Amino acid sequence: MPFADLDLPQPVDLASAQALIAAIQSEAAMQQVALRVPPSEPTTCCGRGCNGCVWEGWLAAVAYWRDEASLLLDSA
């Protein structure tokens, strides 16, 4: 089954994003596929729940990284 056909979840919080990153990196290691480094976790959150919080941007970046990694794993 192609990796992209797996139901890769949308990251919704830190824990789900970390689990997703770990699963993808594990699969990449098994397939011996080099992936770019996943987005770094933000360090500048003020904790006020701002509209456009740095965590929202990071989760979107992780989702993009997931999609890119999925394509690379399927082409291996």
The mean pLDDT values, 10 residues at a time, for the chain of 76 residues are 66 94 95 96 91 94 94 86
What residue segments make up the domains of the chain, in order of their start? Answer: 52-76
Whether the pTM exceeds 0.95: the reply is no
Q: Residue 6 has what pLDDT?
A: 63
- Please choose, from the candidates 18, 16, 53, the residue with its C-alpha nearest in 3D space to the C-alpha of residue 39: 18
Contact indicator for 35, 24 with CB cutoff of 8 Å = yes
Q: Residue 53 has what pLDDT?
A: 92
DSSP H helical ranges for the chain: 14-31, 54-75
Q: Residue 1 has what pLDDT?
A: 52
